[in-house]
Structure 1
Amino acid sequence: MGSLPQEALHMLGEALVNSIPFNRHIGLKYQKVSEEECVITFDMKPELVGNYIQGILHGGVISSAMDMVGGTMAAVGILHANPATQVDELKKKIAKLSTIDLRVDYLRPGRGETFYAKAELLRAGNRVAVTRAELVNGRDTLIAVATGTYMVG
């Protein structure tokens, strides 16, 4: 893959993770967006518990985090289609980005204090992008994996 503009990659992380109120509400924090992967983190807090008896992470939070990193990587696919895209034009394109399908496999209970979601781009076409994401806890225990399909054009 060629070299994509760092300004545009940083803008994707800021726009898609930090600027969306729901993402801020659940505590998602943008760490990295590159051509290879997107990484976000978040900390466990009482509002994110899904099973109050066991005190584990809610499945909706898990899927939201993986959808966010997958969607961000789908946006990286938009940049791959046209690396010279200006930031203003890119913002218009990502405004139309949407999730078509997200398949989540929950492998283990969401136990931990800190969680990391990361995604990679599997395919970027003119209209659709496909990503793979995973969620691990601070001990690097794999909690869930996901495959996402996104409308990009």
Structure 2
Amino acid sequence: MMKKFIAILMCLIFPMSAFAGDNGYKIAYDGGSIQNAKAGTDMKLYIDGSNIRIMKDKTEIAVVPVSAVTEISYGQDVHRRVGAAIGVAVVSFGIGALLALTKSKKHFIGLTWDDGGKKGGFAFQADKSDYRGLLAGLEGVTGKKAVDSDAMTVKN
């Protein structure tokens, strides 16, 4: 009897805990017009049907209506892991040399908006596992196509 009770209880509790997950994207704020935010601060970005919300812990930092978004841009920062290679080379020169040949990528996304004359924008670093999904979500909810900032050329 006790085993049946525990089995039924687990069948009810387990599905509820699966829905209790957080559906936001982990980001690191890189800069922009958001007040009270410093570069490098870890935050969460939530995409609702009509708003893009930025939260730090449980505090709402910014809300951008999706209809106000004017541009979505993305790019990557690629650099070699020289500092880590030097540290490893102290212990093992061969492994340090191999590590110097590897590259690291950081994925950045930028948003700009104009909400009735109230313009703003910000850039943030997205996790490599969330990068594509986050771009697709932003494109889908705003109707804007993301622009590859690495492919843009500046002409004077």
Structure whose CA Rg is larger: 2
Q: Structure 1 length as normaliser, TM-score?
A: 0.25
Q: Structure 2 length as normaliser, TM-score?
A: 0.25
